[in-house]
Amino acid sequence: MAEDTAPALRIRGLVKDYGSVVAVNGIDLDVARGEVYGFLGPNGAGKSTTIRCLLDLLRPTSGTIEVLGRDPRRDGVAVRQQVAYLPGELRLPERMTGRQLVAAIGRLRGGIDDKRRDELADRLQLDLGRRLRDLSSGNRRKVALLLAFAPDAELLVLDEPTSGLDPLMQQVFQQLVAEARSAGKTVFLSSHVLSEVQRAADRVAVLRAGEIVTVGTVEELRGRARQRVEAWFVGDVPLAELTALPGIVDPVADGRHFTAILTGTIQPLVEVLARNPVSTMLVEEPDLEEAFLDLFAEPAP
């Protein structure tokens, strides 16, 4: 497959173990070019290990990896020229100023545009003249964000990118991700912050204990979430019909008031309600957090 038509990322059977500890256990993953892909899971799920294998910072125990159509082990230099990486754990040279660090990274990458650097520093409210050792953890994270978004990279790999940022800067981050997508870039966003992924991602993979639990769009995952439903009927509650529906959990009828938890599609419930006079109905909007928590309440795969 030609490099420019290959997926941004392709992983097959990736395993990384440390003897008795298996950090990543046979995952498969495809990320299309130009999409924002959320890599979601709790701390310790194997997200950072997967990313380090993608960038050849760790050698897999087994499996194959392609980054922009290339093998990161064999073609590491070419891959790194097209990838911007923001690590979850920052280790910045403390004696440098932010401006000196950007210049140093720019020399390695073949240049970073000064206008782009200054624009990002302004949006991130970042003083590049200060030494890195004098910066708060949030401002260090801003430096790392600037280094990720300033180069003209095809693929941005962002590991816990908003850790330590205040809500205003998190909004700026969301804008930067949207702009990167609009410019045709691919963003691989690894996070345990559910709202961050929900706002930014086109598709999401959920990782648990080194294995992918599910892959889908944000809307598909939200469709799996539990929703609380309530209905007030004009007459008696058609309890037999309602309790027979797929996905109805914990149904309760109290006079003309009905409550339940709904999992899955709402269409069968709507069809029953349409056949019975309803005065009021309330369905809570599910979010990715609910789907995420439900996934982790299920038995391990």
> What is the reported pLDDT for 286?
64
Of 173, 157, 196, 171, residue with least CA distance to 51: 157
> What is the reported pLDDT for 149?
96
Could you list the mean pLDDT of each consecutive 10-residue stretch along the chain, which spans 301 residues?
Answer: 77 94 94 94 88 94 96 91 92 92 90 93 96 94 95 94 90 95 96 80 90 85 78 93 91 93 85 92 72 60 50
> What is the reported pLDDT for 16?
96
Of 27, 37, 41, residue with least CA distance to 7: 37
What's the rounded Cα separation, in Å, for the pair 103 and 111?
A: 8
Residue 9: burial class (beta carbons within 10 Å; 0-12, 13-18, 19+): buried
Helix axes 167-182, 114-123, angle to 10 degrees: 140
Of 137, 139, 138, residue with least CA distance to 98: 139
Q: The whole model's pTM is what?
A: 0.80
What's the rounded Cα separation, in Å, for the pair 238 and 263?
A: 19
Contacts of 218 (CB under 8 A, 6+ apart): 38, 197, 198, 201, 202, 203, 204, 288
> What is the reported pLDDT for 293?
64
Q: Which residues pair with 190 in a beta bridge?
A: 39, 159
Asked if residue 280 lies in contact with residue 231, where contact means CB atoms within 8 angstroms, the answer is yes
The structural domains of the chain, ordered by start, are 3-82+153-222 (3.40.50.300), 226-285 (3.30.70)
Asked if residue 203 lies in contact with residue 289, where contact means CB atoms within 8 angstroms, the answer is no
* 26 Rama sector, left if φ>0, alpha if ψ -120 to 50, beta otherwise: left
Contacts of 123 (CB under 8 A, 6+ apart): 172, 175, 176
> What is the reported pLDDT for 254?
92
Of 58, 24, 30, residue with least CA distance to 44: 24
> What is the reported pLDDT for 266?
83
